Structure 1
Amino acid sequence: MAYRKLPLASLIVNPANDRHGELENETAAIAQLFAAQEQHMRNLAKDLVSKGEIFEPPLVFPSGDKYIVADGNRRTTCLKLLAAPRRAPTVELQKFFADCRKNWQGTFPDKIECRIESNRDRVDDILFRRHTGVQGGIGQSTWNDRMKANFVIRTGKSSGLNVADEIEKRLKEAKLLPVRKIPRSNLNRLLSAESLRNRLGISVRKGKLEIIRDEAGTLAALQRVANDLADRIITLDNIWDTESKLAYIDALEAEGMLPKAARKPQPKTLAAPAPAPPQSRPAPPRPPAWPHLIPDVSYGVTWPAHLQRHRAIWEELQYKLELGETPNAVSVLLRVLLELSIDNYVKRRQLTGALEIDKLAVKAGKVAADLHATGKIDKKYLGAITKLKQGEEIVSLDTLNRYVHSPNFSVSPDHLKMLWATLADFIVLCLEA
């Protein structure tokens, strides 16, 4: 194995690429790549121009004085057409690549780094492991939806709205932009989760960035974050994971930098409009009932490393275990999630009055009292949690305990739903401690 920079002109797009089978020559191979995946090829070309590099060297093998591309044909094709747009298979694509080339920053490369393998059997072994699936662990393992989500949450990289770009526009319009350039990738990483964005007063909804708190306070908070990043007070090391992101935003909150809730506009007294005439439209069909305990809505929970067990249980209750089919399993996991969440609050808040030997109901009461004392819940909700401690109530923590421990107690999905409706905010607050 060797890595070497090779002239782009010496690379041949593989006419026997397994994506399409054997073709006559390189020109036919290029045409076939666009016939099968034109939009993907266009997107790849735009990304190459935007980043100015290909990230992963093509895998090639020698053929006379040239090199056949075994892996990386799409990247190589895009570079070749950026270098010579007239080689594109249609007039529209020729214009597209000519326009893309104009946006290339700096000197266009005439050489690219490649991985050279002379042994064709070894080339095939590499391709087998890269492109034929997991193969029982031998091959490359693709990411499932949660893995992809973890990556987006950690890095802020996604194909959707560029949050950093939008924030920079808002700050520029308000004349609050820092003198130094904002590291956009770090800003996207910091604000990669909706719950973190919400604390700074912004939200991403339907592909748009919205200010959801006091606008002046939100812009001031975003200006502070932008300055900290631009002046390198906060670097990648300071916001690498969720714990460090939360620590930074908590520090801003302690300084009083986070925006307050926006004031609701006062309703204007206008003459009541004439009632519209009734229309006989059929009522829209009701959406199917969500079959799991936790509704399919965002609760705004940020999941740092120490909450991974909690997150796994939460996702099983929200997406995997059907309440009607597995009520016993749901009741047990709800009990576990509640206790782990309470223990998290006790540990993070260092509540010496809530000891491990306390019963669950007692600990829940002490945590609720602390939440009320710190202004996180009102007196009415404190009363609701306190009421759950009473064993004579059908929907109570005692009922939840009996679901787990009593052999003669029948689990009721309706009771579990009512328990969740009461406990949801309490559990979320415990997780966010």
Structure 2
Amino acid sequence: MDNYEWLDKKTPRSVDQLRLWPANPRLTPDEQHTTLSDYTEDFTLEEADRVSFIDLAKAIAKKGFIPFDPIIVWQSPENEKFYVAEGNRRVLILKLLRNPSKAPRQYRGLFRNLALQIDLESISKVMVNVAPSFEESIWYINQRNNNSSLQRSWGRVQQHRWVNDLFVRFGGDIEKIKDITNFGQGDLESIIRVLKIKDFVDKPEVAEQLGDDILTRAKARNFPVTILERLLSSPEVREKWGVEYDGVNVNIVSNKKSFYNLFADLIKKIVQRDTVYKDAPDRITTRTVTTHLKDILAGLPEVNFEKDDEGDTDEQKVVNNSVKKTDVEGIEEEPELTIEEQRALIKNDPNRAFLIPNFYEINTTNYRLNGLFQELQKIRLTHKNCIGACLRVLLDLSVLNYINNEGIETDIASAYKVSFRDVQLKKRIEFIKTNKLTDQTKKIAARLLDENSEYSLDVLNGYVHGKDIHYLTKSFLNNFWNFLFPLFDLFLDIKEKND
């Protein structure tokens, strides 16, 4: 082992000056991470990660920063900046506590409140261990995130990516990687092979069949690579698909066109296993690849072992083209709508069955707000009284969420010279309209506050306190949501799912 005396030496470094590590295996590869908001959204992508991140932030705010585990940094020779090799989540939280406005919108209120609970000067600097180089820090990174560690280790996908990074960094030197990771050669070769197979999604023959949304999700860090790993651990599957291994190399001995066709279909089914294929008999999960392997194989396209085409001659191309033209001549088919076009039709349909289309989602730490939003995607508009009242409550909670995130409770209380809790919704919206909104959203807020407007706050209040049923038709409620959508989008940061 090399000399690791630097692990015994701690040096104070400015939190604001430390740089986060953009190649961290916890992050989604191929995505840009240039702002604290980018890092935060990636570190909280999964629900378990989000809860852990928030719990850690609350603990630091309550008890102060207690350096139980070392923060490892190295100095880049290119720009002489110090980058965090180990402790990125902790440093990120310290940065957000010192500057809550740089958090994603849904977390700004949380970090503003937490920042009030801690002496910010006490977290202006942290003690770090400075590794002589990034290479010198590799050993510690591996020990800290090894499955045998008592600390919070990387997940399977993150360990896979880390091994792959080492494979590239050390030019495929398996012996070197074995020394660093303590993995056996068989384990290392298996990890590298499955990552090579996963990267088939980048081949044009596969990517063009997936489309942008599915391709993005297939390349995301939370793609369940263990499903591929378990499938291809079966000799039966490898033989059927024509996949052969030679050390870390993967050879496709079947017809490549048919294999890539199968692989594209496989990726679609894995990515959409919890949506499109949720109830399918050949649904692909880490469990069903063992219990329902025959169903899964039967549901995928066949792979043949015909010799790959070397390329058609010009004469063959003419023949093929003429055949295709003859086959389709005289047949007029309506073009298939894209996902965006389908969603646009639903958004603009005044007779849709649900107030909020199910392809919308919000990311908030407010459990009640998140729950109400999701319930309005499930309750049919035949329950119009319920929907109307819930829309009024959703607006109230959304406005409060925006106020908390922007940290303007005190400003509103001062403006109306009363406790913030005593400021009515109408005045809260009025303050936001005057001080925060521009262009379209400002006009919408003005109409909402106009009691003579068809889509007014008075009408929303009537859903809770009034007797009039004139504004309780399905089309009116849907149009009311459409009218308010730009405001809700601002207050809740609504996004469309990638399904």
TM bracket (short chain): 0.3 to 0.5
Q: Which one scores higher on RCO, CA 8 angstroms, separation ≥ 6?
A: 2
Give TM-score, length-normalised by structure 1: 0.36
